[in-house]
Amino acid sequence: MRSVCKYSAKMAGKSSAVNVNLLVQPPCLSTCSTSSHGQFQKSSINGYLNGKIETKMNSNLEFGDGSEIVLVPEEDLQLFDHQVSGHGTAEKGLLKHKLGFILKPLQNPPMGTREKNFYKQVFEKNLEKPEYYNILEKFLPKFYGVAQIKSKSNNWNGNGSLAPKYLVLENIIQGFTKPCINDIKIGSQTWSPDASEAKIKQEKSKYTGTKFSLGICLTGMQYFDVQKNEKCKKSKDFGKSLDSTTVNEAVKEFFNAENSPLYRNLVKVSYEKLLEIEQVFSIQNEFKIYGSSVLIAYDAEYFLSPPKTEISSEILCNNIPLRVYLIDFAHVHPTEDEQLDENYLFGLRSLIRIFKEILEES
């Protein structure tokens, strides 16, 4: 049995409607639904993940707004093993706190300062902020402040201020058992206005098949192949090999399009979330963002747990285990010309068009 979920949205100033056939009986959607910040709450639907998801984010534990540095014991941390792109290495990559937080290395000034301040600006409790911040806040990992790791190697009895600092952020894939992640950098210009000539030359030489024609770069992705029952990871080289004729198939591969018709549900929800993000950048002229990514994550367990009962289309649309977030804000600059961020909008609208084309395929 099928249900047709209709929706319409404005794209690039034009109204378009897309009809999407959604399976009413997907693999179970769950004992879980999520808030905008990924904290799990039990729903009335039985089956998904067999109720094994456990909330580890402690809402009473606050790191602050970044004004003060909080010490985190080294024994409470481990390497985050799902990083698909970025500056992290085995020695200085993302870390995961035992309570579920992610610690991201804070870059040296001015990049690290920009990123920290942007998170503070978005999550600041200020009634005078423009309304689009309410939308933007939904699509950023929740910011818990800044931390340093307390360990013997940091010599905390001496000068602990020399220890590296970390942004403390929400774990985007918290609760997922088979996390699939796609990091898509947005914009043809991925370098800051203050970048050196060498940096500009370096950035222009990368991802040439999609960066200038579409304004996007697939910098890394991993997914769980439900047919082969194995995890697949694609490196930067895979993204660099893509062009405008192959990028759609790469997106479909990420969503297991060859393995299950349910991939369309994931694409549809991603498309709707991208349209929400577009609303922000169609209005805001406060800042311009370079080198930032849209990160799409879903749980492949969605394909593997058969439903026990029929699920209404409304519940289906609201409970797909998929999240879309904006990440990496080391190159956010105040707008000097009070114009829209056309560089970002170009890439974002190209991505929206790709998802729309996939949905419209017969």
Domains identified in the chain, total number? 1
Average pLDDT over the chain, rounded to an integer:
80
3-state secondary structure of 132: helix
pLDDT band at 69 (very low <50, low <70, confident <90, very high): confident
In tens, the pLDDT along 12-24 reads: 333 344 444 443 3
Is residue 9 in some structural domain? Answer: no
pLDDT of residue 307: 54
pTM: 0.80
Is residue 3 in some structural domain? Answer: no
Is residue 11 in some structural domain? Answer: no
pLDDT of residue 151: 79
In tens, the pLDDT along 141-156 reads: 999 999 999 877 665 4
Is residue 2 in some structural domain? Answer: no
Whole-angstrom CA distances from 277 to 69, 135, 280, 352, 360 are 31, 7, 5, 10, 21
Q: What is the CATH number for 123?
A: 3.30.470.160
3-state secondary structure of 327: strand
Q: Where are the beta strands (DSSP E) in the chain?
A: 2-11, 14-23, 32-34, 40-42, 69-73, 77-79, 95-97, 102-105, 143-150, 165-169, 179-186, 216-225, 230-234, 287-289, 293-299, 322-327, 332-334
Is residue 7 in some structural domain? Answer: no
- Percent of the chain scored above 70 by pLDDT? 72
> Looking up tokens 């890439």, which residue turns up?
347
pLDDT of residue 163: 81
Per-residue pLDDT at 254 exceeds 70: yes
Domain region containing 107: 25-360
